[in-house]
Every structure is written in structure tokens, then in C-alpha cells.
Amino acid sequence: MKPIRLMAGFFTVGIWTLLSRVLGFARDIMIAAFLGTGPVAEAFLIAFSLPNLFRRFFAEGAFNMAFVPMFSKKLEADDGAHKFAQDAFVGLAGILTIFTIIAVILMPALVVMMASGYLGTERFDLAVYYGRIAFPYILFISLSALLSGVLNATGRFAAAAAAPVLLNIIFIIALLGSAVFGNRAPPQIGTALAYAVPVAGIAQMMLVWFAAKRAGFALLPGWPTFTPELKRLAIIAAPAALAGGVVQINLLVGRQVASFFDGAVAWLNYADRLYQLPLGVVGIAIGVVLLPDLSRRLRSGDDAGGRDAFNRATEVSLALTVPAAIALMVIPLPLVSVLYERGAFTSDDTAATAIAVAIYGLGLPAFVLQKTLQPLYFAREDTKRPFYYALVALALNAALAIGLSPLIGFTAAAIGTTLTGWATVALLWRGSRRMGSAAQLDARFKRRVWRILLAAIGMGLILAFVATVMKPFFGIAGMRYVALVLLVIIGMTSYFALGHMVGAFRLSEFRQAMRRQER
């Protein structure tokens, strides 16, 4: 894949992810307005987190990271790619069906694992009830992830990137339907949201299944067969699954800490949604496009092309996320206030959420850099070293989150996540130095990275000044939306102008990639 095609794939995924995140904001704004940070909101957020936690463990965090490189190489060599995908599809479906049944039965134990602070409160019973409804989502979304891997490996990114949009549309329909035609009591709204989760999973899976069928990969249900290729897949996936499990334990540590502070699970969740916008648009898009591209290049021995792809992906990631990180640290209060503060979401909730947003903003570049560094390992079918690095991150996160929580409260969870993110980047970067030329930084990246930082700092100073001048307008109901839009426009304009002036990037590069994406 040439650099321009790599960037076109990135923009395809990024644009659809941006739409999904925007709709996700609309969904979260509605949830915050209807439920605030009360018991029902916290119970539903934990119930929805459960299938997503294991989904990252089984599918995106482990299975797909092993599956995509193997499938890409078979596709490149025309060596039974369809049969391999079919066997993996059936095998994953069988494992997850059994796992889902066990999880539904043991749901009380899973809720304790996620949020032991809920024990003895109404949040616990609600979380168990909602969790049993929502958990089958893991089966459908994991199969959707595998099908998306097939599509991405063949260079078809649109359907897989568009699938998450359906989740947010179905959530919004459930909220509106419950409010207009049903009972507006919080427990009933929570139930409507819980039922929307598996429905959304089915819709996402069907969208990518039909797209894969059109691409020539109609994967059908069947009886699992443990072939030699699947055995090799399992051997490669096992360390990645363990690494994914460690990452999820990190998340569990944060939620456990937050569950002992009323409202903190919701505060961290709403803050997470804000920093997930640039992370999803940039980091996930780069990771989705870069992994199959690197796998094909390594198969063909194109180290120079792999190095260029890695450098350009890392360069674009930083060019788009460093300014976003600084914005989250400089203007978190206006962002949270305008987006969430209405209905059941109070000014106290705004203040607490804004603190978490600023802390997560500091870690945003690290979370994105992980997305560009991990494909260097997975493309080589090296899943062991990321597991060892994840173990180190687990120990650090637990020490920070648990050790600091008695001193600084729920923010210890966010601090642990951010510092652990940077520690993981340092370990991945150090390990990649042994990979030869494909993992080396080129002259263009070294020349531009400091200019990107300089332009972003300049933008941050401008944002801080303008936000201070416009502060009175954020207190006026009709004007605060206009004020935030102006603030965002000023930030974007100043950053791209400064970046172009100091040579951090050329605007023509973005235009070329966009034109390629349109074609």
C-alpha cells in the first residue's frame, strides 16, 4: 500500500469513526440528561462495560491481532485465505457461545469483579439485571471484529468503520422511544438501553457480514474444527490474549477504585468519551490500516516501504492528537459544561468530570502511539513481548490507582491510566529498536515532530487566552454553544496555521489524502 493509499485508508476509517464518536456524544449527552450520575447510570455503565471488556480480550485485543497478519499473508500468497477465515469464524463463535452462557449465569460475580463498591446498594442489583440482558453483545461484536479484520486485510475499510455508527443510532432510538412512548423513570430507561446493546451487536455483525460476502468471503455457521492453522493461530493469540487480559485488568483497577466514590464511575466514563474522540478518529484508524499493510510488506520483504508506512502513520497520529491533548488540558471545563451539563447532570458533576478530562488529555498521545507501535510487533506475529510489557504496566497502574486513591480520591484512577500509558509507550519503543530498519525513525519524522509540538503549544496559549476572554458567554444558556464552536474553530485554525508556518506539516498532504479517499 503506497503512503497516499495508506493515508486514504486512514481518512476512510477516521471519518466514519468521527461520525460514530459524534453520535456517541449525542448518546452520552442524552444519557447524562436523563440519568445524570445516579445509580441507574452507574449500573448501566458497568453492565455495558462487561461485554466490551471481554470483547477487547477475545476479539480486538487478542484474536484479531493474531488473525489479521496470518490472514493477510495467506491472502498475499493466495494460500487458502477463505478456508482459514471460515474456520476462525466458526471456532470463535463456538467459544463465545459457551462463554456467554457461563457469564450470564455468573453475572453477580462479574459485577463484583468490576465494581465491588456497588455491593449492598441498589446499583448492584441493577447492574446484574442489565448485565444479563446486555452480555450476549460480546458474541455478535466479536464476530463483527473478525469480519472487519477480513475486510481491512483486503483494503476495504468503509463498512467495518461504519458499523459502530449503528450502535449509537440504536441507542439514541432506544432513549427517544423510552422517553416518548414509555416510562421516563430511570430504571425503565436503563432497561431500554440494556436491550439496545445486543440489538446493536446483531445489526453491526450483519452489516460487515454482507460486506464480507460482497468481497468474496461469505463466512457461514458450522461445527468448529481444530485445524493445524487454528492451532497455530491459538498459539500466537495466547500471549496477546494474556496481554489483552492485563490491559483489561488495568481498567478493572480503575473502575474498582472509582466504585467506592459516588458518581465517580460516571464521571470517568463521560471523561473517557471526550478523549476517546481523537483516540478513535486517529489512533484506531491508524492501527486498523497499518497492521494489514505492515503484514503484507513484511511478507514481501519490503522493509523500506514498511519503515515509510510506520513513520507516516506515527507522524500523522501526533500531528492530529498532540493539539487535541493540549486542548483537553487547557479548556476541559467549557467542553464538559457545554456538552453534558443539563437535566440530571449538575455543575458539581461538570467540575469532577473536567478534572478527569484534563488528566486523560495528558495521556492521549501515549494512547495513540501505542496504536502505531503495537502493529510492529503483531505484524511479525510477536505477541509475547507486548504481554511482558503489559505486566509491567499492570503493576504500575495498580500501585498508582490504589496507592493514591486514599490521598486524592477518584482521580487516582485517571492518573494511573495516563502514567501507565506513557510507561507502555516507552517499553514498546525500546523493544522496537531491535526490529531493524522497518521500525526506525526517518529524517522527516525527526524534523517534524518538534515542530508539531511547537505549533500545538502555540495553539494552547491562544486557546487559554480566548477562553478567558469568552468566559462570561459560557454562563449564558443561548450563547454557550456558539462560544464553544467559536473556541474550537479558533483552536483548529490557529494550530493548522502555526503548523504550516513552522513546517510541522503541509496542508497539501492532507488535501491529497482526502482526494484519494474520495476517489
Question: Where do the structural domains in the chain lie, given as residue ranges?
Answer: 3-518
Which DSSP string do the residues of 393-454 spell out, in sequence order? HHHHHHHHHHHHHHHHTTHHHHHHHHHHHHHHHHHHHHHHGGG-GGGS--HHHHHHHHHHHH
> What span, in angstroms and rounded, lies between the C-alpha atoms of 472 and 196?
40
Q: Which three cell numbers stand for residue 165?
A: 455508527
Q: What is the pLDDT of residue 62?
A: 57
- Percentage helix, strand, coil for the chain under 3-state DSSP, each rounded to 5: 85, 0, 15
**pLDDT digits 0-9 by tens, 178-192:** 877 766 788 889 999
> What span, in angstroms and rounded, lies between the C-alpha atoms of 145 and 228?
22
> What span, in angstroms and rounded, lies between the C-alpha atoms of 163 and 461?
38
Q: What is the pLDDT of residue 518?
A: 44
Q: What is the pLDDT of residue 33?
A: 84
380 or 315, which is more confident?
A: 315
510 pLDDT tier (thresholds 50, 70, 90): low
Integer CA distances (angstroms), 217 to 60, 151, 324, in order: 20, 9, 38
284 pLDDT tier (thresholds 50, 70, 90): low
Q: What is the pLDDT of residue 10?
A: 62
> What span, in angstroms and rounded, lies between the C-alpha atoms of 92 and 134?
19
Q: What is the pLDDT of residue 514?
A: 46
102 pLDDT tier (thresholds 50, 70, 90): very high
> What span, in angstroms and rounded, lies between the C-alpha atoms of 141 and 163?
10
Whether residue 80 is predicted with pLDDT greater than 90 in this model: the reply is no
* Range list of H helices, 36-154: 39-55, 64-77, 81-105, 107-114, 122-134, 137-153
* The pTM of the whole model exceeds 0.75: no
Whether residue 31 is predicted with pLDDT greater than 70 in this model: the reply is yes
Whether residue 274 is predicted with pLDDT greater than 70 in this model: the reply is yes
What is the pLDDT averaged over residues 345-374? 89
**pLDDT digits 0-9 by tens, 155-211:** 777 787 788 889 899 999 998 888 777 667 888 899 999 999 999 999 999 999 999
216 pLDDT tier (thresholds 50, 70, 90): confident
**pLDDT digits 0-9 by tens, 221-239:** 878 777 777 778 777 777 6
Whether residue 145 is predicted with pLDDT greater than 70 in this model: the reply is yes
> What span, in angstroms and rounded, lies between the C-alpha atoms of 261 and 258?
5
516 pLDDT tier (thresholds 50, 70, 90): very low
